[in-house]
């Protein structure tokens, strides 16, 4: 049976699916599999039974500001464990490998044959939370193709929605069997 779960990606974003967020964390809620449009933090607290949080890795010079990564990891873990339910930490390599962020987002969310991807209802929820998210991914993908080798977030410029997109992609990975229920 697929559980209800919350995924957390440490990264600045000003909105989340539903009303609840923290300025430095992106969290999304999956209800028995599908991405859910949760109405409040209280609903999150009552309706999920596991938390999956990204545990970032500092990779020498490839990590421009290690202290920011440490701070985000700390905040993500604090939130995850605050619910008092099982927490599972996964590294970026575990759930998306070494694929550049825009390429991964495109493969999971925009590729013509999207498996596992989002269904139309989930796409509508994400569009309400992040208007224009598809165009942002396509724009970042174009930059990545033209100029490979940058940090994934750099392709998105000032658009912080990529962190919420990561939380969604992490959830899709979980529900497709990345972490057994």
Q: Hey, where are the domains in the chain?
A: 5-178
Q: Is 144 helix (H, G, I), strand (E, B) or coil?
A: helix
Q: In 10 A of CB 121, how many CB atoms? A: 12
| Residue 104 token pair | 């991964």
| Residue pLDDT tens, the chain, 181 long | 457 888 888 765 544 443 334 445 566 777 666 676 654 444 445 567 888 998 988 877 767 778 878 888 888 888 888 888 889 999 999 999 888 999 999 998 887 565 568 888 888 888 888 899 999 999 999 999 999 888 888 899 988 888 889 988 998 888 888 875 5
Q: In 10 A of CB 59, how many CB atoms? A: 11
Rounded Cα distance, 65 and 131, in Å: 29
Residues 6+ apart with CB under 8 A from 80: 8, 51, 53, 87, 89
| Residue 154 token pair | 């750099």
């Amino acid at each position: 049976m697929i559980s209800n779960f919350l995924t957390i990606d440490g990264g600045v974003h000003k909105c989340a699916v539903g009303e609840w967020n923290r300025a430095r964390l992106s969290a999304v809620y999956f209800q028995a599999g599908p991405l859910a449009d949760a109405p409040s933090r209280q609903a999150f607290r009552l309706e999920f039974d596991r938390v999956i949080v990204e545990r970032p890795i500092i990779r020498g010079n490839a990590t421009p500001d290690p202290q920011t990564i440490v701070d985000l990891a700390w905040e993500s873990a604090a939130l995850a464990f605050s619910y008092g339910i099982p927490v599972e930490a996964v590294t970026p390599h575990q759930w998306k490998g070494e694929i550049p962020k825009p390429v991964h987002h495109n493969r999971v969310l925009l590729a013509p044959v999207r498996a596992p991807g989002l269904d139309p209802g989930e796409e509508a929820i994400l569009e309400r939370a992040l208007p224009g998210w598809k165009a942002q991914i396509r724009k970042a993908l174009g930059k990545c193709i033209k100029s490979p080798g940058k940090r994934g977030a750099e392709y998105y410029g000032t658009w912080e929605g990529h962190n919420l997109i990561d939380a969604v992609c992490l959830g899709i990975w979980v529900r497709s069997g990345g972490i057994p229920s």
